Amino acid sequence: MTDSEPQFFNRELSWLEFNQRVLDEACDPSVPLLEQLRFLAITASNLDEFFMVRVGSLLTAIRRGDTSMDLAGLTPLEQLSAITGRAQQMVADQHRIYLTKLEPALAEVGIRRRRPFELNERQSEFVESVFQEQIQAVLTPIAVHDPARFPLLFGRTVNVAVKLKSRVPGEQFRFAVVPFGRFDLRYITLPSGGGYEFILTEDVIAMMAERFFPGEEVITTVPFRVTRNADLSVSDDDGADLLAEMEDVLDYRKDSFCTRLELSDQATRPTLDFLKALLRLGERDIYVVPGPVGMSDLIQLADVSGFDQLLYPSWTPCESPAVTPGESIFEIMKSQDLLLHHPYESFDPVLRLVSEAAEDRDVVAIKQTLYRTSRNSPVVRALMRAAENGKNVTAIVELKARFDEARNIEWARQLEYSGVQIIYGVRGLKTHAKACIVVRREAQGFQRYIHFGTGNYNEITARFYTDLSYMTCNRELGNDAIAWFNAITGSSQIQQFAQIESAPIGLREKLLEMISVETDRARNGDQGRIIIKLNSLADPDMINALYKASQAGVQIQLNIRGICCLRPGIPGLSENITVTSVIDRFLEHARILYFHHGGDERVFISSADWMPRNLDRRVELLVPILDENCKRRTINILKACLRDNVRARRILPDGSSEPPDAMPTRPWRSQLEFQRRAREAAEAAFERNRTTFVPVEPSGL
């Protein structure tokens, strides 16, 4: 490579290329039609969060005059300029795919969007009643006399700008806004003779806008939607005030500055100028679209009932063959380590560990981290029961888990009320590690039952995120887990562990050491091999270490779902590095690390991606898989992901991606293979249990 070429790809542009890979699924004819629609909605939702967080962060940096450069040598203003061009193209592609491909295809199979002029008499009468009974009753038009005094418009909700002929002498027109606010009726289901027909609520408002403004002439109505900055920080110097401060942050997000305006291409120049002034936006921040604004709402259509043939076949996670139904999870874990591969295998053993611990009279303590949980979390409920049953329960609840803050605040209050000792994370850091420790009094002493995971304690996402759970009674891992947890809750200095490593102290150094070992072996003529599966790779130290390893001859295979700032396949820099990304039905989420280590293979799972925030500003865990059976299985999972030639994309040196062969000689789709393996293992275990007779012996009275 030339000296002028950057060695790193820009993080934000890399993320947009990841979102493009997701968007590619929305126009892949091999993907079921409603799943294509779901992928399209996901890309729109992803883009919402991108503008809320990443663009918000860049705009904040520009406002304070920050001219520092990123890894690719771009200032915040240069990054924003590059992002804008790429994002505008992506939004145009989203609408092109929806309007020219998906919407016509959906209409052919009976899912039809009706415009106002397409309604039949019965449908018109129905829309009239919905408008009168719901829309007009709930929504409130607001006249705009002074943009500076206009009420708040919520982010990520649809609004309709109404241009009215003015009755004031010398004034041609005036504006009003009909905000949807928390009104969730975006798609109105219409009566039909078959299939599913609907109309957009904003189209109904356009039909009947005069009802909001009796006696006035409506000139135009234009749907629009704003995205607001969500990159807001808190000072967590005082834990007692952190909960209250997080609530203030949630309130501030509602009226933080706008980062994007989406509006219909029906907008005239006066309407556009009015919205720019109202929202204090520049031309760069405006995205004019030919279709519905807020395409993330299309997820609702993807879930419409009666069209199962347009979806992936339903998948119910299989029971792990190592977990015998009805047997205590404590007995199972004492007999063997467990490795669970979600969502192919059920998350239930993890839930059972916490639930049984809550009721078991011999359990004396539970220590748990909570980052993202479900709305009705059985894990949280079990912790509350455990505390009410007299167990010593401590939970580290991360209040700063972005977009889950409100839920975590509510859980923290309920847990505290139940008697759980709550720690609101760690000062200056986010606690992102996933660990649960159960301490049980047994005949031989106190036994530790440990769960380490790559994903959250969320039974909902465990059904569509691919993650690993490692459940063990290994003494060294148990001692390390206790020492790690107590160091966090006690604000103590983390000591050297026997097996695990933790960020922000030790984990980066451990990873660099493992890469260095492979590098040195390759330089000495031995085999050097590294396989890494992550969500994101953006840390410059880690990337540079991989570059050096590649130059020494280490064969490096990376499976990176999202951001990848490393440029693979460049002669003299990274010719021994390949990067693939798997985008499929389930969200690839597991972090798995493999180092050949001279044949003494080292395998780890981790909660951390290789990004500065994870390695320096979060509490993370790196856990070795010590059990040989679990290690072999983890390696097989890694290799299966690398073998994918159906849903894997190869990342190119410029950060873009190359699709797999259209017609591979031997198709290998890793997620389908994992489903097959899980199903066959569960069926074999069922047959073994069905043909095994266990006598019930007398109690010896």
Name the residues annotated as catalytic.
Answer: 432
User: Sheet holding 258-264: strands in order across?
Assistant: 142-143, 173-179, 158-165, 218-228, 258-264, 286-289
Rounded Cα gap, residues 577 and 546, in angstroms: 8
Half-sphere exposure of 328 (CA within 13 A, CB side): 10
Which contiguous run of DSSP H or E holds residue 201?
helix 201-207
| Burial of residue 299 (number of CB atoms within 10 Å: 0-12, 13-18, 19+) | middle
For residue 397, list its beta bridge partners: 370
For residues 449-470, one letter each, b for 16 or more C-beta atoms within 10 angstroms of the residue's C-beta and e for the rest, the string is: bbbbbbbbbbbebbeebbbbbb
First to last CA, the chain: 83
Instruction: Report DSSP letters for 652-686, one per residue.
Output: PTTS-EEPPPSS-SS---HHHHHHHHHHHHHHHHH
One-letter identity of residue 46: N
Give the strand pairing for 657-658 and 648-651: antiparallel
Distance CA 447, CA 328 (A): 15
Give the span between the Cα atoms of 509 and 559, in whole angstroms. 22
Task: Tell me how far apart the alpha carbons of residues 653 and 658 are, in angstroms, rounded to a whole number.
Answer: 11
Alpha-carbon distances of 62 from 58, 71, 586, rounded to whole Å: 6, 17, 37
d(CA 292, CA 94): 11
Quickly list DSSP for 404-426: -HHHHHHHHHHHHHHT-EEE--B
Query: Is the separation of the CB atoms in 591 and 534 below 8 Å?
Result: yes
The type of residue at 389 is: N
Q: Are 469 and 589 in contact (CB under 8 A)?
A: no
DSSP assignment letter at 53: I
- Positive or negative torsion for Cα 642, 643, 649, 652: positive
- Two tokens at 292? 């519905």
B/e letters for 615-643, b = 16+ CB within 10 Å, e = fewer, are bbebbbbbbbbebeebbebbbebbebbbe
Compute the distance between CA of residue 369 and CA of residue 393 in angstroms, rounded to an integer.
11
Q: In sequence order, what are the residues at sequence separation of 6 or more whose Cβ sits closer than 8 angstroms to the Cβ of residue 445?
A: none
* Packing angle, helices 348-359 and 378-388, rounded to 10: 10
The answer to whether residues 470 and 341 touch, using CB atoms and an 8 Å cutoff, is no
Spatial contact of 471 and 338, defined as CB atoms under 8 Å apart: yes
Q: Hey, which residues does 564 pair with through a beta bridge?
A: 537
Tell me which residue of 463, 536, 534 sits closest to 19, measured CA to CA. Answer: 536
Give the span between the Cα atoms of 190 and 91, in whole angstroms.
Answer: 28
For the record, the structure tokens of 260 come out as 């994007």
The C-alpha atoms of residue 170 and residue 177 are separated, in whole angstroms, by 22
